[in-house]
Structure 1
């Protein structure tokens, strides 16, 4: 299979963390997310997901469901969803009601991606969960409860999700380890791996998922997705320059010095030391940057090696217009 075939046979979608670029307000950041969603809808991307994060002044995706409604109302055909809702932070009934409401308002356009991480630090997780202690079985049990609320069979149940009951809202399991891969296989659900920041167990997780998959009512065969970082520009040098904002953000994660998305710089070696550079490059290993030709070659090889059905693209680019341009250049490879 050629690189062109790899792109042609693969779905492409977008994950937005709704970052706050230096100088932008919370409102402007959310408006930029909607503008991005409208553009990638025109570019032919399949879905636009937003991830749940709390207690950070660098991202504004904490009220994820509210933001999804804003994005769905401002677009017309692209699928809108969570990448993901951190299920341990929420009662399954609430999630069923919220996504049932979204699906009722925007039929056949809503995805429910679920993760089991807190999406924040432990102190904030405690505040969100009000001291609830999570066991290893809570996540599988919560998914089963959620599926029950969505089922037609629950119409005689004592606790029902209205709206939500009987609606066909696809559930995706998200993960950065092998746990959710095995659970998605067992339950016959599509699986998305967070390889954009946790590359280590990607191939192992995909093998476990595909090898252990059991067909379900919602999915006959495995459907795998991988999230990666992508920066496309007119030259390799320009793409490297744009990616420096992303690398600064990643440095903030490993040094615990979180800042708004910073403007790009000409030379990252003036900012990070060798150890920090190594840590960032290892954590963000699946980052593809360069011209269309460069990205087609490298990302095409990734698609062929992993065999994933869908690529979810995230691009932390400081300049909003450059971010849109990067997504447009990438879309020209798969359209």
Structure 2
């Protein structure tokens, strides 16, 4: 049974921008407007492609459209002039996802035309092509295209390292995407989603300051590192630091703690491959005799120890010893939470 040919490629128009199919007489108007920026981000060796190369590209785009609309490429037409191009491609193994690309020629940049064109292309991809997801791969250095993608409602999903080999070497790429169920660009919901996706997040760590009747501090001898450390760990997504520290006590030691106060909040600078983080040190009490028979998490905890300041200085990292000393001072002498940076009081 012969496959049904696709409908004729449409012409789309909105807000002064026309997206239309390529014509044979677009060869020179397109190729002669290429510049070094286009060559750089598309990995072209030549800035201005030969006429034969541009004509061959137009032929391939037409064939891609006729072949089940696996490639749909439009001219961006502004006031009857060739201003650039937008394109969406699908793969045979994933016909519900389209990969976007776009280019705007120098005379038309800085006017929001690329953003409008990509939004129009995405609307067409969802409504006419039936795609559920569109995505784009953008070099982190390509600030202009990142702004275009964000304005069209695409959100960053991650950084792909050494994604592509260009003439100037290997380059990374941000993967950005938009789903058919995502809010429309330029709405409050879309702006909130974009901000939430784009703003930085910090790793959070919650630890417990637990002391016995002699004032010694509870520490854990860990399986995976040399220095002893305080009980606690990384705060899970959507989990509060207070909830996290109590969870870690249950998981690591099999005990149920009670928070008395927040002793310290400390900013940790980037260190040995780790990004910066926020550490929350809670003053915690345990029921009497709760640690008489602890249930240690064997993949993390080798043993537990009660340490005075001298033992803590001997077995724990310098940062941990400073943190404990400052936390005890905040709880016992100041009655207020201390703010530290890398375990030190900031010099304000």
Q: Which has the larger share of strand?
A: 2
Q: Which has the larger share of helix?
A: 1
Q: Does 1 or 2 have the higher relative contact order (CA < 8 Å, sep 6+)?
A: 1
- Global fold match (TM > 0.5): no
User: What is the TM-score normalised by the length of structure 2?
Assistant: 0.22
